Structure 1
Amino acid sequence: MNILEEIQNCPVEWKELGEVCEVKAGKNINKTFIQNNLGNFPVINSGKEPLGYINIFNTQNDPIGITSRGAGVGYVSWNEGKYFRGNLNYSATAKDEEVLLPRFLYFYLKNSSKEIENLCTFDGIPALNKSSLEGLLIPIPPRKIQEKIVQTLDKMTDYVTELTSELTSELTSRKKQYSYYRDKLLSFEDEFYQVEWKTLEEVAKDFGRGKSKHRPRNDARLYGGDIPFIQTGDIREAGKWIENYSQTYSAFGLQQSKQWEKGTLCITIAANIAETGLLGFDACFPDSIIGFVANPKFAITEYVYYYLNSIKDYLANKSYGSAQDNLNLSTFSSLKIPVPSLEIQSRIVQVLDNFDKVCNDLNIGLPKEIELRQKQYEYWRKMMFNFNKKGDSIL
């Protein structure tokens, strides 16, 4: 009899979490306290990552945490050893580990994300009430079955983690290789090509900051409209070509703005510094983005895109600002770039397009592989908890 058959045929008791576990919150903590007490013990609070590391702990060998408030509400974590549990994190501690294995409970709670989400409230700040969580039904199969489930899922977890690490490492290596050859090609160190150094403004047909007299959200609400309006986030999340937009503008909004042509190079100068992308459609954008269209007598817009990408770190280091980093228009208008002949620019674009395609294929293929393995893991985890409250199989 395999593990799935054993699961379907074993006796199971269903009890509320509060019956078999003690649920409690941690202690209040803030960033100032963390900064003044740096150490090696992680601070587990809201969110998926530790809030920081401090020199004291308030929890030991109590690994199951559930975020009680904020954007990550309901997230279930496993935290071994000593750590500091914040007040936005519940612990779920088995009252009798002979009855309920903590690791089994952890896997079951991870498998019950939808059920936990249904217990949360989302009016204002998302929150998970302690009494609601304590009412969550938990299956209690025989201990031997719990052990087999834990062993199986631990092995699968290790496999998925290792595979994800390998694929992520491969993707990172390919991106580094691409960046190296791109930067080498655009450095003109060997002076093999004859180049002139010109400012962006000198080689531009159209160059300037975007305009948005009306907030796109308000403009669309009042006047409707379907004119694409991109934000800095749309550029950051795109590759070479910006194919998606988050908001729209109306014809009325356009009267006090500007619509840039397809192929315009967009450069962010606030929030996400020196991110670049080429418009895949005519669009408007705010003054936190610079638009550049090359004068075809001097330059190819795609060539300028690749060159700015090669000096992105340099540009980011020139940013300034207190609340958030900024670059101004004059930084770019006076920025000098190497300008070889149009023929050489075209050849460089062709080479880098090929590099970009290979890298993009990997960027699609490898994460897709990771996603498929994760879904496969989640499917089998679901099968591990295929207990039926009425005694009949749900397969």
Structure 2
Amino acid sequence: MTYIEDLLKEHCPNGVEWKTLGEVCEFRRGQSLTSRRAIPGDVPVISGGQKPAFMHNISNREGETIVVAGSGAYAGFVSYWKQPIFVADAFSVDVKDFDKVSTRYVYHFLLNNQQKIYNTKTGAGIPHVYGRNIANFKLPLPPLKIQKEIVKILDKFTEYVTELTAELTLRKKQYSFYRDQLLSFENEVYQVEWKTLGEILVKGRGTKVTARQMKELHKDGAPIRIFAGGKTFADVDYGDIPEKDVHHEEAIIVKSRGIIDFEYYTKSFSFKNEFWSYSSDSEDVNLRYVYHYLNHNKSHFQHIAGNMQMPQISSNDTEKYKIPLPTKTVQSRIVQVLDNFDAVCNDLNIGLPKEIELRQKQYEFFRNQLLTFTAEGVYTDSTVQYSTDKT
């Protein structure tokens, strides 16, 4: 028998009472405010996004506040604030009786129903979420004492995720600092030669394939990736691509349209003909070093591409681009340092990103367990499967 179950047995022997959110909370719309009308200040303006839209000098909500984004791509997104804020294109969910209902408990409940809130979106153009639809959600209401104990448990998980996220932010800043230092060569610590990519790398061509052919070629689990543009790709079978268009060697793919980017691959791959690749047959070049340097200076190519609707660079832009080449030994050392930082900061299989993902899933699991109650009069011993000390 767990501590929470003990409390439920003691205070709710016949089950937990259920009420609609509308019975225990008030839904208040925000006030219209644009960035042009805002007066500079330190009050976050909460609107239709996942983060504050801008800052203002006055607030229209104080203390604990739950906010639900009202419209736009993130309509329905739930956030919690414990500081003065200005609610604009959104609405707040305000507890009516603090002696019976914990605001933080309601917040965890809404997070547990985040997808259900998204499903209430209406509007073909700009999606909207309305408080009247969320007001019908059924909320389990154990006594306030039990609500607070549940909040205490769940907050431990969210605090840990927050700490890990803050740690990841610091690591990324550290990564950026060392990357800047290692790839600047401003102090000439290492002796370097400056060479164009065209001088040191071998350019490869992409596959001529239409969007329709891409769709026809797609086969789940196939070993080759064909890039279709931006971040999209399809997995296809070896037999569907001419051998001359299949790249087996280590290479850098240049994404030249839309999102200007560089991808590094060591497995078999192919790509559409608006992109190109670079490989190396020189013993003096560590291709991974070149990849890091290009990504570090990606803004150069983004500037060349311009702000058109479809930004674009040409192979001539990369062919004539010069990079510093220290000795192969120095290149390898730089790669080792940057790869280690990159893994800690960005690898979803290891490091901090993986730890954050696991802790977030753990929080979601226990949140669901702790907020799953039987209706009044039908209590069961297995309502909550979580063991914790009273402290």
TM above 0.5, one fold? yes
Q: Which residue of 1 aligns with 2:163?
A: 162
AA of the residue aligned to 2:341? C
Matched with 1:26 is 30
Pairing of 1:4-23 with structure 2 (within 5 A): 4-7=5-8, 9-11=10-12, 12-23=16-27
Identity rate of aligned residues, in percent? 27
Q: Give secondary structure in 2 for the equivalent of 1:100.
A: coil
Q: Counterpart of 1:229?
A: 226
Deviation at 1:191, TM superposition (A): 5.6
- 1:214 pairs, out of 202, 210, 216, with 210
Against the structure 1 CA distance between its residues 58 and 50, is the aligned structure 2 distance closer, same or farther, given a 3 Å change threshold?
same
C-alpha spacing 1:360/1:219, structure 2 compared with 1 (3 Å): same
Tell me the residue number matched to 2:272.
Answer: 285
- Shift of residue 136 of structure 1? 0.5
Of 7-16 and 302-311, more deviation after overlay is shown by: 302-311
1:304 paired residue among 270, 282, 290: 290
* Residue 332 (structure 2) pairs with residue 359 (structure 1): no
Q: CA deviation at 1:66?
A: 1.9
Which amino acid letter does the alignment assign opposite residue 147 of structure 2? Q
Structure 1 contact 64–77 (Cα < 8 Å) conserved: yes
TM-score (norm 1): 0.75
Name stretches of at least 5 consecutive residues in structure 1 with no aligned partner.
235-244
SS state of the match for residue 275, structure 1?
A: strand
Tell me if structure 2 keeps the 8 A contact 1:214–1:253: no
Residues 285/264 of structure 1: CA separation in 2 closer, same or farther (3 Å cut): farther
What is the rounded CA distance, in whole Å, between the counterparts of 1:5 and 1:383 in structure 2? 15
Shift of 1:286: 5.1
- Is the alpha carbon distance of 1:354 and 1:202 closer, same or farther for their aligned partners in structure 2, counting shifts above 3 Å? closer
Q: Please, which of 188, 191, 195 is the counterpart of residue 198 of structure 1?
A: 195
Mapped contact 1:167–1:370 kept (Cα < 8 A): no
Displacement of 1:187 in angstroms is: 6.6
Q: Equivalent of 1:265, from 252, 258, 262?
A: 252
Query: Which stretch shifts more, 65-74 or 44-53?
Result: 65-74
User: In the alignment, which residue of structure 1 is the partner of 2:179?
Assistant: 179
Partner of 1:388: 374
How many residue pairs get matched?
A: 368
Look up the equivalent residue of 1:219 and give its one-letter code. Q
Is the Cα contact below 8 Å between 1:43 and 1:52 reproduced in 2?
yes
Classify 1:307/1:147 alpha carbon distance in 2 versus 1 (closer, same or farther; 3 Å): closer
How far off is 1:152 after superposition?
Answer: 4.4
Q: 1:151-187: CA deviations, max 9, x gaps?
A: 44445543442343235424543x2465256426x67
Deviation at 1:285, TM superposition (A): 2.9
Q: Which amino acid aligns with 2:188?
A: E
Q: Deviations over 1:309-362 (max 9, x none)?
A: 45445555555334465444332222223456xxx43x3454344334533442
CA deviations on 1:223-281 (whole Å, 9 max, x unpaired) are: 667663225654xxxxxxxxxx72257999978x9655542322234444453423532
Contact residue 223 and residue 252 of structure 1 kept, 8 A = no
> In structure 2, what is the equivalent of residue 67 of structure 1?
69
Distance 1:298 1:112, change over 3 A: closer
CA distance in 2: counterparts of 1:252 and 1:233, whole angstroms = 25
The answer (yes or no) to whether the contact 1:7–1:385 under 8 Å persists in 2 is: no
Q: Secondary structure at the match of 2:53?
A: coil
Q: Distance in 1 between matches of 2:39 and 2:276?
A: 41
| C-alpha contact (below 8 Å) 2:288/2:335 kept by paired residues | no
Higher relative contact order (CA closer than 8 Å, sequence separation 6+): 2
Give the aligned residue type for 2:380. D
Structure 2 CA distance for partners of 1:300 and 1:179, relative to 1, 3 Å: closer
Query: 2:199 is matched by which residue type in structure 1?
Result: E
Whole-angstrom CA distance in 2 between matches of 1:278 and 1:325: 24
CA distance in 1, matches of 2:86, 2:200: 57
Give the Å deviation of 1:19.
1.7
Counterpart for residue 44 of structure 2: 42
Tell me if structure 1 keeps the 8 A contact 2:249–2:279.
Answer: no
Cα distance, 1:39–1:312 mapped onto 2, change above 3 Å: same
Over the aligned positions, Cα root-mean-square deviation in angstroms equals 3.9
Normalising by structure 2, report the TM-score.
0.75
Q: Is the contact made by 1:267 and 1:291 (CA closer than 8 Å) also made in structure 2?
A: yes
The alignment partner of 1:108 has SS state of helix
* Kept after mapping to 2: 8 A contact 1:219/1:250: no
Give secondary structure in 2 for the equivalent of 1:139: strand
CA contact (8 A) 1:219 1:249 kept: no
Matched, 1:53 2:55: yes
Describe the SS at the equivalent of 1:158: helix
Residue equivalent to 2:364: 378
Distance, in Å, in 1 between the alignment partners of 2:256 and 2:35 is: 32
Q: Return the offset for 1:308.
A: 2.6
Note the residue ranges of structure 2 that are not aligned, 5 or more in a row. 385-391
Q: Using the alignment, how far apart are the partners of 1:51 and 1:192 within structure 2?
A: 47
Read off the aligned partner of 1:104 and give its amino acid letter.
Y
**Structure 2 residue identity aligned to 1:284:** F
2:138 aligned with 1:137, yes or no? yes
Q: Is the 8 A contact 1:64 1:92 kept in 2?
A: yes
In 2, are the aligned partners of 1:228 and 1:247 still within 8 Å (CA)? Answer: yes
